Amino acid sequence: MTGAASGIGAATAEAFVGRGFDVIGMDLDWPSRTDTADGLTAHTIDVSDVAASTALLSQFGDIVHLVNAAGVRPQASLAMSDHAMALRCIEVNALGAMNVMRVVVNTESPLESVVNVASAAAWGKQNLAVYGASKAALLSLTRTAALELASRGVRVNAVLPGTTLTGMLPNGVQAEPAPRNFTGRVMEPRDVGAAIADVAMLRLTTGATIPIGLLPSSW
């Protein structure tokens, strides 16, 4: 589980622990508190660091589900985006997921499913130029992986969470209506995390892009 220290990633990790799984949590910045959920082991890893990710994940041969939730979300227009910003965003959001998937599929793990946390910004959203581009790359990677891993019985899907109460939201947004969400309200991370765990368990679905609480007109 990447991006497991906060937000949707932390909630998803808790959802898997609640279903009886032991979770290998990967994140760059864990909170100082030590009360992580039983069943969750915290590893400080930058998913864009190929060597570090490989060294960690190669130790495990029993990974059944993989969720890529690590992400950075620079808020900037195309005109204000620079090369360094774009590179970091793509390294984490797209290449980081690719790195982790590649390592896991090359182990002896009995992998059953991969869920990549994408975004409706992949279809274009103002002031999210490089973020949207990185998530579009992640959707393409999801579909390709679904085709390539089907013969091994591995399902690979992407999810599009609606507006969710996380640290990525601009200040004040959490108190506003969320017209993109079918409930009209900002969602709680725990609800999104539970839905992501549900997607991981879908036995006959692969290569899909699945909205979570998001109206069709939003993507």
Q: Is 205 helix (H, G, I), strand (E, B) or coil?
A: coil
Known catalytic residue at 131: yes
Tokens at residue 94, please? Answer: 């797209």
DSSP string, 40-69: EEEEE--TT-HHHHHHHHTT-S---EEEE-
Question: With DSSP H G I counted as helix, E B as strand and the rest as coil, what are the percentages for the chain, rounded to 5?
Answer: 40, 15, 40
Catalytic residue among 81, 131, 138, 181: 131
Closest to 158 (Cα-Cα) out of 144, 171, 169: 144
Q: d(Cα 30, Cα 127) in Å, to the nearest integer?
A: 28
- The answer to whether residues 181 and 162 touch, using CB atoms and an 8 Å cutoff, is yes
Residues 6+ positions from 141 with CB-CB distance below 8 Å: 94, 97, 98, 101, 116
Output DSSP code: residue 106: T
Tokens at residue 54, please? Answer: 């490989």
- The answer to whether residues 92 and 84 touch, using CB atoms and an 8 Å cutoff, is no
Residues tagged active-site: 131
